[in-house]
């Protein structure tokens, strides 16, 4: 999720530009879903609920994969949800912001926000499992080249994963140029391998008929339902298409999906089924242990392992970049404490690096590989987070139909009902995986949800308490006019609220008994839109001579670079010269109390998060030699 078109307005570009963006999307967006053929088909037959290798089950499974891909990816995400853009941006948080603009502070609006926060929390569990399962499954292909290499699988996978996380601080601009060519070759290889085996057994194409999936369910009701828990692995990564819409635009993404990625994936899945059906029973039983690599002849198997490993490396990179992007959005929307965010490209705003998130993900991935030991065990943990997020997206989509798009109920209910049925079935089929590893993403999701909601609630309580004791600015202006000496220069006092006087300004008057010639009380507000029109960036009120209140508006996808924004403004009595401007920050020390608001343990957790968050100086990119911090204590 680190592409190059920040405003996602690809829809207005020329056909050649759309094709270029569509090709670029292959290297960034489709890595997760593109590497699923390595393990998805296999897991359906050798996973927790093995299936018999006969025509009924092989045709039934490949039919399920086709229709799951058609309904979930093509219809739900690519066709319907991509219409729900928030000024060109997609993803669960953008969808929540879109709904919140209509529902505001109503109960339905609050429920939508909580659903979006929980989906975001589940994403963190998914972003830990995806690199582990994809890279490990690709490296396991070495055992199809030489069985004796099995003992080297985990060390090689760990070395690759550690290298991947170490590369993050360097940015993806350079290696990103190689992504699209490698993924184009990879997808083309999927298609070629599939076609070779389909030509040997063309009858497998009959599985396009949904009757084969229905017949599978009618014959093996329970096994058919449980098989959905592995079939869903074929559509993991569908949400990335929606999330990355802002980087590429819906037109190029739809072109690359329908015109290239989906046909290549389906050809490979049908090819795997055709290959197994064309083998003798003993050979089929051996081949199903790793059908993706067995599709290639022995002389081409090692190159295929290397290509697949490169593809999973790229897929993991996209997921990690996605974790950075989602975290940045969550910070801007007030659900995550300020973290140190480094920009790894001078030209691409989307290419960021968040050290804390990177190291947490790396430790989690290493522990996952060492604990689960192979991709089949990890596949049991995979799926519950993805299907949970998909089900939440469906809930939000239903609200979108009625509250935002104003569909009639007779129209909205059948459409939403179909997606509820499909996504609900996939989620239910993954619930039996909870004891076998599915608990991990749920545990991560619950932990992240607790942190996100605690921070959001704590911030609100803190602002409310500060507002209660804040001195009205009109009273302050009258009392300070004759009680303080004016000194040259500009002083900017950062304030979290647009009402009242910040404590730093009161402390400065109390202890220093001076006011600068120009005083600006500055508040940063993050809008529920990804980008704010530059003409709407500033909101300025002159309180008295030399005293101004300014509000800077940013979108949740924008950098909060305060000095850069101030240089573009001259409404507060002239231009801002950073060499003659001082920034004053209030640093609150929180004291947990029994006042109504949050449980004591959550208040202590919030206080700990506040102490360890990045300072406003770092987050707002203030010049380090022009900042003064003044502390105070506050009970919540």
Res 5: pLDDT: 37
Conformation bin of residue 47: beta by default, left when phi > 0, alpha when psi is -120 to 50: beta
Candidate from 44-48, 481-485, 558-562 with smallest mean pLDDT: 481-485
Whole-number Å distance between alpha carbons of 484 and 245: 54
pLDDT digits (tens, 9 = 90+) for 186-204: 999 999 999 999 999 999 9
pLDDT at 11: 42
Structure tokens at 35: 């590497």
Contact present, 382 and 36 (Cβ < 8 Å):
no
Task: Work out whether the CA dihedral 162, 166, 168, 172 comes out positive or negative.
Answer: negative
Among residues 335, 413, 268, 332, the alpha carbon closest in space to that of 609 is found at 335
**Is residue 304 scored above 90 in pLDDT?**
yes
Say which residue, 480 or 93, is predicted with more confidence.
Answer: 93
Residue with tokens 């099995």: 150
516 DSSP β-pair partners: 487
CA dihedral 457, 460, 466, 472 (to 10 degrees): -170
What does the pLDDT look like over 505-517, one tens digit per residue? Answer: 888 887 878 888 8
pLDDT, position 8: 41
| pLDDT on residue 346 | 56
HSE, CB side, 13 Å, CA atoms: give it for residue 217: 9
Are 318 and 239 in contact by the 8 Å Cβ rule? The answer is no
Is the pLDDT at 395 greater than 70? The verdict is yes
Higher pLDDT, 632 or 456: 456
Of the candidate ranges 100-104, 132-136, 390-394, 543-547, the one whose mean pLDDT is the lowest: 100-104
User: How high is the pLDDT of residue 10?
Assistant: 41
What pLDDT is recorded for position 348?
A: 54
The closest alpha carbon to 501, from 509, 489, 513, belongs to 509
Instruction: Tell whether the model's pLDDT for residue 320 goes beyond 90.
Output: no
> Which band of pLDDT confidence, cut at 50, 70 and 90, is reported for residue 3?
very low
Share of the chain above pLDDT 90, in %: 41
CA distances from 488 to 491, 512, 514 (A): 9, 14, 10
Burial class from Cβ neighbours inside 10 Å (0-12, 13-18, 19+) for residue 211 reads middle
Cα 201 off chain centre by: 40
Residue-level pLDDT at 9: 42
Cβ proximity of 50 and 220 under 8 Å = no
Q: Are 325 and 1 in contact (CB under 8 A)?
A: yes
Q: Is the pLDDT of residue 303 over 60?
A: yes
**pTM for the complete prediction?**
0.84
Three-state SS for 494? strand
Output the CA torsion 614→619→621→625 (10° steps).
-30
Cβ–Cβ < 8 Å for 38, 281: no
Q: Is 176 in contact with 2 (CB distance < 8 Å)?
A: yes
DSSP state for residue 135 in the 8-state scheme: H
Angle at which helix 153-167 crosses helix 355-372, to 10 degrees, equals 170
Q: Which residues pair with 407 in a beta bridge?
A: none
Return the structure tokens found at 287: 């081949």
Mind listing the pLDDT tens digit for each residue in 127-176?
899 999 999 999 999 988 888 888 999 999 999 999 989 888 876 555 56
Whether 117 and 388 have beta carbons less than 8 Å apart is answered as no
Q: What is the pLDDT of residues 342-385, one digit of tens each?
A: 876 655 555 778 999 999 999 999 999 999 988 888 887 888 88
Q: Burial of 302 by CB count in 10 Å (0-12 exposed, 13-18 middle, 19+ buried)?
A: middle
Residue 583 has pLDDT above 50, yes or no: yes
Q: What pLDDT digit, counting tens, does each position of 230-286 carry?
A: 999 999 888 888 887 777 888 889 999 999 999 999 999 999 999 999 999 899 999
What pLDDT, on the 0 to 100 scale, is given for residue 350?
58
**Gap between the Cα atoms of 28 and 99, Å rounded:** 28
């Amino acid at each position: 999720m680190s592409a190059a078109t920040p405003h996602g307005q690809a829809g207005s570009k020329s056909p050649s530009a759309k094709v270029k963006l569509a090709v670029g999307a292959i290297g960034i967006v489709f890595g997760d879903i593109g590497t699923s053929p390595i393990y998805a088909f296999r897991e359906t037959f050798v996973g927790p609920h093995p299936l018999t290798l006969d025509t009924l089950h092989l045709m039934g499974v490949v039919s399920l994969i086709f229709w799951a891909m058609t309904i979930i990816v093509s219809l739900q995400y690519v066709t319907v949800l991509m219409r729900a853009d928030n000024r060109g941006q997609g993803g669960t948080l953008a969808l929540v912001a879109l709904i919140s603009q209509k529902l505001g502070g109503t109960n339905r609006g609050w429920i939508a926000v909580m659903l979006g926060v929980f989906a975001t929390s589940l994403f963190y569990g998914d972003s830990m499992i995806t690199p582990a399962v994809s890279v490990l499954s690709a490296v396991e292909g070495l055992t199809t080249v030489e069985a004796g290499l099995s003992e080297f699988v985990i060390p090689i996978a760990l070395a690759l994963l550690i290298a991947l996380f170490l590369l993050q601080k360097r940015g993806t601009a350079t290696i990103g140029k190689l992504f699209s060519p490698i993924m184009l070759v990879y997808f083309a290889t999927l298609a070629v391998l599939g076609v070779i085996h389909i030509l040997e057994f063309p009858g497998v194409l009959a599985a396009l008929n949904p009757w084969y999936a229905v017949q599978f369910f009618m014959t093996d009701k329970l096994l058919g339902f449980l098989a959905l828990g592995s079939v869903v692995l074929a559509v993991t990564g569908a949400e990335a298409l929606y999330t990355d819409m802002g980087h590429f635009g819906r037109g190029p993404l739809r072109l690359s999906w329908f015109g290239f990625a989906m046909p290549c994936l389906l050809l490979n899945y049908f090819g795997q089924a055709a290959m197994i059906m064309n083998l003798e029973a003993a050979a089929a039983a051996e081949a199903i242990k790793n059908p993706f690599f067995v599709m290639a002849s022995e002389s081409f198997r090692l190159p295929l392992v290397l290509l697949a490993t490169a593809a999973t490396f790229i897929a993991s990179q996209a997921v990690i970049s996605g974790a950075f992007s989602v975290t940045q959005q969550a910070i801007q929307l007030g659900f995550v404490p300020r973290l140190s965010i480094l920009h790894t490209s001078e030209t691409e705003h989307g290419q960021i690096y968040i050290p804390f998130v990177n190291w947490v993900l790396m430790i989690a991935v290493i522990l996952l590989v060492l604990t689960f030991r192979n991709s089949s065990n990890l596949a049991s943990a995979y799926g519950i987070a993805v299907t949970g997020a998909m089900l939440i997206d469906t809930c939000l989509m239903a609200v979108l139909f009625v509250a935002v798009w104003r569909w009639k109920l007779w129209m909205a209910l059948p459409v939403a009902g179909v997606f509820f049925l499909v996504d609900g079935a996939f989620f239910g089929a993954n619930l039996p995986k909870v004891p076998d590893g599915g608990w991990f993403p749920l545990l991560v999701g619950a932990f992240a949800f607790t942190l996100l909601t605690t921070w959001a609630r704590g911030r609100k309580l803190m602002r409310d308490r500060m507002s209660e004791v804040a001195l009205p600015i009109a009273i302050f202006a009258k009392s300070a006019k004759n009680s303080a000496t004016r000194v040259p220069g500009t002083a900017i006092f950062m304030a979290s609220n647009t009402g009242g006087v910040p404590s730093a300004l009161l402390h400065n008057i109390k202890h220093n008994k001076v006011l600068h010639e120009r005083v600006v009380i500055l508040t940063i507000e993050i809008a529920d839109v990804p980008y704010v029109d530059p003409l709407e960036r500033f909101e300025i009120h002159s309180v008295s001579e030399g005293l101004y209140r300014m509000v800077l508006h940013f979108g949740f996808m924008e950098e909060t670079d305060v000095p850069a924004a101030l240089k573009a403004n001259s409404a507060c009595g002239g231009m801002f010269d950073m060499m003659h401007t001082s920034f004053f920050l209030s640093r609150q020390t929180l004291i947990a109390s029994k006042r109504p608001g949050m449980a004591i343990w959550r208040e202590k957790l919030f206080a700990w998060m506040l102490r360890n968050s990045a300072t406003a100086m770092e987050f707002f990119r203030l010049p380090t030699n022009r900042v003064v911090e003044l502390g105070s204590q506050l009970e919540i």
